[in-house]
């Protein structure tokens, strides 16, 4: 009885591919994906303000051992940082970096970055890029993968490099160069 049931399931899974009503194959052209991909280079400055009246990054969690850790291991910070065209915070705002950075290394200052760049300029207004990567903030240049996007950046893939432009008590200004393939 058990053996015949076993063979029944074995055969049914091999011979009849189960059809699912919630998923179907469509042609790439139905989404305009038969076009060649574009490669875009985005350049902007991120302002991470950790204190003061215009604070844009707040620590939301930490472990009991975080204060004793030289790398702040375990600290989790939520940010909504403005992105500007130039290093000056008063220059044109092109979007925001919204997400989390968390100290994920016990041996150096290394953050796990999980953030969305959300753009607000012109035709890019509302489009976003999702970044998930490692940010060793004391390195001259850090590279993080761009794992996806929305709006004009649907199907985006690429990478971002971050370079500290200014580091002060209240604020860090980070220069970003982002290269993404998208349609």
Ligand X SMILES: *[C@@H]1O[C@H](CO)[C@@H](O)[C@H](O)[C@H]1NC(C)=O
| Residues in contact with ligand X by the rule CB under 6 A | 52-54, 120, 125-126
Query: How far is it, in rounded angstroms, from Cα 121 to Cα 181?
Result: 19
CA-nearest of 98, 146, 143, 88 to 118 is 98
Pick 82 or 148: Cβ nearer ligand X: 82
The alpha carbons of the chain give a radius of gyration, in whole angstroms, of 22
**What is the rounded CA–CA span in Å between residue 8 and residue 6?**
5
Q: What tokens appear for 14 in the block?
A: 């091999």
- Between 75 and 118, whose beta carbon lies closer to ligand X? 118
Report the residue number, 76 or 171, with the smaller CB distance to ligand X. Answer: 171
Q: Which residues pair with 116 in a beta bridge?
A: 98, 130
Closer to ligand X by Cβ: residue 74 or 151: 151
Provide the minimum distance between the beta carbon of 93 and ligand X in the complex, in angstroms, as a whole number. 9
Smallest distance, ligand X to C-beta of residue 119, A: 9
* Closest distance to ligand X from the beta carbon of 47 (Å): 10
CB of 15 to ligand X, least distance (A): 51
Distances (CA, A) of 88 to 35, 58, 84, 122, 175: 37, 22, 8, 21, 11
Q: Which lies closer to ligand X via its Cβ, residue 76 or residue 172?
A: 172
Residues recorded for the chain? 183
Least distance to ligand X, CB of residue 7, Å: 58
Contact yes or no for 178/117 (Cβ under 8 A): yes
């Amino acid at each position: 009885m058990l053996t015949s049931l076993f063979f029944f399931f074995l055969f049914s899974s091999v011979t009849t591919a189960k059809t699912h009503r919630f998923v179907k194959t469509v042609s790439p052209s139905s989404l305009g994906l038969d076009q060649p991909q574009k490669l875009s280079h985005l350049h902007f400055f991120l302002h991470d303000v950790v204190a003061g009246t215009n604070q844009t990054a707040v620590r939301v969690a930490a472990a009991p051992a975080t204060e004793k850790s030289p790398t702040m291991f375990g600290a989790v910070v939520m940010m909504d940082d403005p992105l500007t065209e130039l290093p000056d915070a008063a220059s044109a705002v092109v979007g925001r970096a919204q997400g989390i950075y968390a100290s994920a290394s016990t041996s150096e200052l290394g953050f796990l970055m999980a953030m969305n760049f959300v753009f607000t300029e012109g035709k890019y207004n509302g489009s976003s890029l999702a970044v998930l990567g490692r940010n060793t903030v004391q390195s001259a240049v850090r590279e993080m993968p761009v794992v996806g996007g929305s709006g004009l950046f649907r199907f985006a893939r690429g990478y971002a490099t971050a370079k500290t432009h200014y580091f002060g008590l209240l604020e860090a200004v980070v220069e970003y160069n982002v290269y993404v393939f998208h349609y």
